[in-house]
A and B are shown apart, each in its own frame.
Chain A
Amino acid sequence: MRRLRWKIAGRALALLATVLLGGLLSATLVRLAPGFDADERELDPHLNAQSVQALHDARQQDHNIFRFYFSYMKRAANGDLGTSLALGQPIRTLLRDRAPLTLRLLTIGLGLAWTLTLTLALSAAWLRLSVYDTLTTVVSGTFLCMPAAVLALLSVLWNVPGALAIALIVFPHTYRYTRNLLVKAYSRPHIITARAKGLGEARILFWHVVPVVTPQLLAVAGVSVSMAIGAAIPVEALCGLAGIGQLAWQAALARDLPLLVNITILVTLVTLLANSGADVIGYAARRQEA
């Protein structure tokens, strides 16, 4: 138990360090990006020289990367994430309004992807029919060879919910890993012996295979969150769903860099939380198994 606590504390520290470092990296990139110093408001003929100078002075404090980053972090700690340049709205409001839809989309998408993965992988492992195995591999392989954005476009054409598109983008990756893990687990000597002794398939699966593959499957589950977030960008952008993915796409097209930095930090945090959570649960499962 103590070891587990240390593991969680270590993970939390690593997570904090990565988020801070990721934020600094994003802020540096934003600061160094071409066009950072330009403000189209300065072209407004209605503004007088003092107003233009005031706009210029306001940006001067952002010139030092570290000052820019620390002032951002200080404001972020107080809940002020700045204002979107393209949309002219507080970033906090934008994120708060759009997060529930993305969260729902990701939850349903991941749920569907894993249901499909486990159903196909377990049935393939259980049935041990080469035709069935080839068929499932071909189906997952076809989806694997399609760009995520095309699947999003096809979901619009066929009037399919966006969550299903996310599921079909994530599924081929998770299926490939899960199938390989199950094949590897089934080729273990003790399982071959158990089969030879006539142990039932269900008992072999739930007593000998599932406990062996669970920690690795949890790790894959953590990674699948990152895949789903990546898939949310084309799906939300092309299906017209007003979530974080669409916001990131709009920010990229409008070069709204402050908004992009905030989304980057948020996405990094969510991905790392998912991976760390999966890692800690996997660690606990391995210890219990041992």
Chain B
Amino acid sequence: MSLWQKVACLVLVLVVGASLAANWLAPGGYAKQYREVTDAPPSRAHWLGTDEIGRDRFARVLYGTRISLLLAPAAALLSTLMAALIGGLAGYLGGAWARTAMAVTDLFLSLPWLFLLITARALMPLNVSPLVSVMVTFLLLGLLGWTTAARVLCTTAGSLRTSDFLRQARAAGIPGRRLFWMHVVPNLKPVLYAQFWISIPVFILSEANLGILGLGVAEPMPSWGSLLKELEGLVSVGEEPWKFVPLILLVVVVTSFQLLLSRQEELAA
């Protein structure tokens, strides 16, 4: 692990730790309104000021970080499992199975990711409770984000299918199901780990995009997307720089993931 990767690891641990300690660091909670100090600049009571309806921005950043950082890996896990099931199995079975699975994958890949997301999000009811909106947003990311990983896994499983050790195992009479779970899946693990890590920053950014466009997590629940929506009201960059804290945090976290990713890719290779 290089120095930068160690720093990235430390940053992620600190950010995740702070977000998990949100109840202790910001006991007021993300929805409490301080009506006497609306749209206030940073102060000792409110480190990052308050938003236009008087909610403490620091608390919202902490709770928003918790939601984005806990649910993005959950969505990544779901998409990786789907990719393993669809891509891995199709690659292992080969022939018409692989062709059909890849045709479906290509169909999904032919649509721009953000476009696919907003189309699918629009099919769901928009006027839902905040908790349901969180679930819908991240479930959607998980259910739609499997395609690229499936393609990679299909190719990897396809090359494993024709490998010598699998041919020998098949010749020794090991049944197909056992062959898949005992010999193919363990060999797919490094690729699965890499795909899991690749998906996390992609989903964090996608949630942020959906949030800014008003199709993500519903109010009053905070997420990085809904926090970044505040930037829409800015007139100039230097006017209220503290409003950029969620953006800086997001860029730092995504960069940390990207730095760690290179290590995962090395391991997968």
A residues sitting closer than 8 Å to B (CB atoms) are 18, 21-22, 25-26, 29-30, 33-35, 141-142, 144-150, 153-154, 157-158, 226-227, 229-231, 233-234, 237-238, 248-249, 251-253, 255, 257, 260, 263-264, 267-268, 271-272, 275
Quick check: A267 and B112 within 8 Å, CB to CB? yes
Known: A145-B251, A150-B208, A229-B112. 16 other contacts (CB 8 A): A22-B111, A34-B124, A147-B209, A147-B250, A149-B209, A150-B247, A153-B228, A153-B232, A154-B237, A157-B234, A230-B113, A251-B122, A252-B215, A257-B122, A264-B115, A267-B112
A230–B122 Cα distance when bound, in Å, is 16
Residues of A within 8 A of B110 (CB): 18, 22, 226, 268, 271-272, 275
Residues of A within 8 A of B40 (CB): none
Quick check: B255 and A149 within 8 Å, CB to CB? no
Query: How would residues 40 to 77 of chain B score, 1 for a CB under 8 Å from any chain A CB and 0 otherwise?
Result: 00000000000000000000000000000000000000
Quick check: B126 and A248 within 8 Å, CB to CB? no
- Given A144-B258, A145-B255, A226-B112, the answer on whether A264 and B119 have CB atoms closer than 8 Å is yes
How far, in Å, is B140 (CB) from chain A's closest CB? 12
CB-CB nearest 7 A-B residue pairs: A230-B112, A252-B122, A149-B212, A147-B208, A145-B254, A33-B123, A230-B114
How far, in Å, is B160 (CB) from chain A's closest CB? 25
How far, in Å, is B139 (CB) from chain A's closest CB? 15
Quick check: B111 and A153 within 8 Å, CB to CB? no
Number of chain B residues close to chain A: CB under 8 A: 40
Quick check: A147 and B212 within 8 Å, CB to CB? yes
Quick check: B258 and A18 within 8 Å, CB to CB? no
- Given A145-B201, A233-B118, A237-B213, the answer on whether A150 and B231 have CB atoms closer than 8 Å is yes
Quick check: B111 and A268 within 8 Å, CB to CB? yes
Q: Is B95 an interface residue (CB 8 A)?
A: no
Closest to B106 in A: A18
Quick check: B212 and A153 within 8 Å, CB to CB? yes
Q: Is B15 an interface residue (CB 8 A)?
A: no
Quick check: A141 and B258 within 8 Å, CB to CB? yes
Quick check: B231 and A153 within 8 Å, CB to CB? yes
* 18 A/B residue pairs, CB under 8 Å, sorted by A: A18-B107, A18-B110, A142-B251, A142-B255, A145-B201, A145-B251, A146-B251, A148-B114, A153-B234, A157-B235, A157-B237, A229-B112, A231-B114, A238-B232, A255-B123, A257-B122, A267-B112, A268-B111
How far, in Å, is B72 (CB) from chain A's closest CB? 13
Residues of B within 8 A of A253 (CB): 122, 126, 214-215
Residues of B within 8 A of A22 (CB): 107, 110-111
Residues of B within 8 A of A248 (CB): 115, 118-119
Quick check: B208 and A255 within 8 Å, CB to CB? no
Residues of B within 8 A of A257 (CB): 122-123
A54–B212 Cα distance when bound, in Å, is 40
Partner of A29, one of B123, B234, B236: B123
Closest to A255 in B: B122
Residues of A within 8 A of B112 (CB): 226-227, 229-230, 233, 267, 271
